Structure 1
């Protein structure tokens, strides 16, 4: 890990770290969504969230396989992120089903934005895999539909979910900043020189702007 950002090995190290972070995120999402599905108000909703959990595990398997192909031990790639990710989820335990769905939606979309941005500096093969895993898909739309339905059925949820969404994105962006500064994920971004912290702040600012646009689409204030 002591090579310079311009050394050939750094691109492989960056890819391994990004995929390791994504793999642990998908594995933890599987466990979290599987648990949260038990609190669904209907069996249909329970099945929907369970299906999204299965999709998260499928993404984990893809990332796990890619890391192995790269000659990287998947567990070693994930371990540096385990404590921070687990701590984040401990701090953001949802209080009920509606908060669970909002959390799944916010984490899915913000983390996807973050990963796709970083992948833009990597090799085409890694970019394609990240796009496959992190691009908005059916699961994202399903979560959006669940939220819209809940808000339509009970408009009083709006203020509570807006507040919860703001807390979630604040925690998520703090986590993204910490990840970018504690791990050399942003190495390619820093080749032009400048202050790493300023660049990370700009990145998280862009993520916050995208989140605000999505919340506005739900009729919520970010």
Structure 2
């Protein structure tokens, strides 16, 4: 009797089937409402994705359009670093100057190895030491420009914004200032030594005019003329 009573209270298979159908229907309605509610968000996300794709394409095109700096080997356009006397023969005649020019003579005699190497070329632009630092300076400059482009904050077609961002990055790059300072110091050191050589050369030329001794022409003038016509031998 008890089992028969309990079984009479259990839902029939048809009722269970109906309940499942109602649940399925409710889930279908809920799914439709969720899809309807999230559709604008999906459209918005799709638009954002498309915009990002366009930005990536522009950045990629900008980056790939930049031609890397072609680093030409120093031997292509610099003088071989041999000795200072090759480019300034006056270094072989320092003992011939009189005592009143001893200060200038001592300056040239006291040049360090680095200073002599800096003078081992027709001009500062043709010097291997100077060129080595200059190429590193160019590499830093190129790297900064490419970093600005890759960040995508300053598109190259916006000239004002692009220049501002590049200049700002350069001002904050210690490597840029370091190489710039090195180049300036190297030029100043070379100019000072050239001035000493020029003064001694002028004295020698005056002696040539006043005496029978045959003297060679100014080596600084040789270097200057070689910039226009060819390298000094």
Q: TM-score, normalized by length of structure 2?
A: 0.32
Which structure carries more relative contact order (alpha carbon 8 Å, separation 6+)? 1
Larger C-alpha radius of gyration, 1 or 2? 2
Q: TM-score, normalized by length of structure 1?
A: 0.33
Higher share of residues assigned helix: 1
